[in-house]
Amino acid sequence: MRRDGRTLDHAKLETIRLMAVERVRKGKSAPAVIASHGFDRTTIYKWLAVTAKLGVGLDALASRSAPGRPRSLTSPQEQQVFRWINGNDPRQYGLDLGLWCWQS
């Protein structure tokens, strides 16, 4: 059964990556190691390649938070937009469609 790594939390994935690379370094075959974890055969070769770079080592397998898209507005601008929308009707701004109207 193949496992989809996207369904696992970051800490668990990091542990799997570290264990798999360590087992290969201790002499186990890469395909056997990755098969025991249920991942695709090519996955472990990416992990081994990134850890083989000079000065990187196992730190390359550490989990990191995804930076995401940068904010378009500053905090004061966000607060201003919130004040415009909160408690007002879209028709006050000349909009025909009330996309942000909530019905209680």
* pTM (whole model) above 0.85: no
The closest alpha carbon to 31, from 21, 20, 41, 19, belongs to 41
Residue 7 near residue 44 (C-beta atoms within 8 A): no
Q: What is the DSSP letter of 71?
A: P
The crossing angle, in degrees rounded to 10, of helices 30-37 and 10-25 is 150
Cα distance between residue 84 and residue 61, in whole Å:
45
H or E element in which residue 56 lies: none
Question: Domain spans of the chain?
Answer: 5-61
pLDDT for 18: 93
pLDDT for 102: 56
Mean pLDDT, residues 71-91 taken together: 87
Residue 29 has pLDDT above 90, yes or no: yes
